Amino acid sequence: MINWAAVPKTELHLHIEGAAPPDFIRMLAAEKNVDLSKIFNDDGSYVWKDFAEFLQTYEAACSVLQTPDDFRRLTEAVLDVSAAHGVIYTEMFLSPDFCGGGDLEAWKDYLAAMTVGAENGKAKHGIETRFISTCIRHFGPEKAVQTAKITALTAGGLLTGYGMGGEERHLHAADFSKSFEIAAEAGLGLTSHAGEICGAESVRETLDSLNVTRIGHGVRAIEDADLIARLVEEQIVLEVCPGSNIALNVYPTWGDHPIEKLRKAGVPVTVSTDDPPYFYTDMTREYRKLHETFGWGLADFQAINRTAMKAAFCDDKTRQRLMAKFE
């Protein structure tokens, strides 16, 4: 029987706040004398029944993340969990809007603190970390341009990517093209959430407008054969988060999830967890469920991880060193 936790893994789609372990948030709340008891189940996990309650719980948990040092500690706590599930390379989504309120100098402080956390995680576990700065779609295009400018001014080191998260149904991808142009000029890798809540057209609009090499989620591309052909031809990598999609009822069961169909069609797919403790998952569970549902074995996961490392927003030396782990 395979010990899935011990299998080396690459993760490209992980929101740092959404990956906050419940124990860590409870500890931080106790230190700050904040009562967050209502957002936890009796077993200590996060409480939510529908998307609205998920957002409420998420916001409440994030309310105790207030200082750069809180985010340093959060980074270390997240990497402790990732490393325990075999992750050797991870990319985390961060946002200047949440880390410093969009102020450049404050963002520098938060980024420096999270970089220390990542370096501590590497020293402790050997895990490599890179950061993806994100604009928030429902904050609008003007705010996105500000976020891109802040990101461009601080690009380098562990900050190697730029993306967009938030409410996918808000406006059009083209409305955010300027912010992605700014990030591209700074040499950052580009990705954007699309094709999760909205359908295949969301993915197409994103490809047409933002010049991304990766799509966050993107699973609803399966609804359009022409789009699938385009993804294969252009080798656009999908950051697929099956457990997240099922928890949020994008698909009812693992058997209904299209990751296997996408892969068989030749679409480059990867596996990530999104906001793992909220969706009661982790990388070990994702691998185990994909093995149980689709029969994926070690060779399949090695191929998935090679795809992820090729698409990773990191330097070639790091890429080649870690790629050897998946041969």
Catalytic residue ranges: 196
CA torsion sign for 285, 120, 11, 136 is positive
> Of 185, 19, 198, whose CA–CA distance to 93 is shortest?
19
Q: How far apart are CA 190 and CA 196, in angstroms?
A: 18
Spatial contact of 155 and 186, defined as CB atoms under 8 Å apart: yes
Give the neighbor-by-neighbor strand order of the sheet with 189-194: 9-15, 87-94, 128-136, 159-165, 189-194, 214-217, 237-240, 269-271
87 CA to centre of own chain: 13
Question: Which of helix, strand or coil describes residue 274?
Answer: strand
Question: Which of helix, strand or coil describes residue 13?
Answer: strand
> Which of the 8 DSSP states describes residue 46?
B
3-state secondary structure 218-230: CHHHHHCHHHHHH
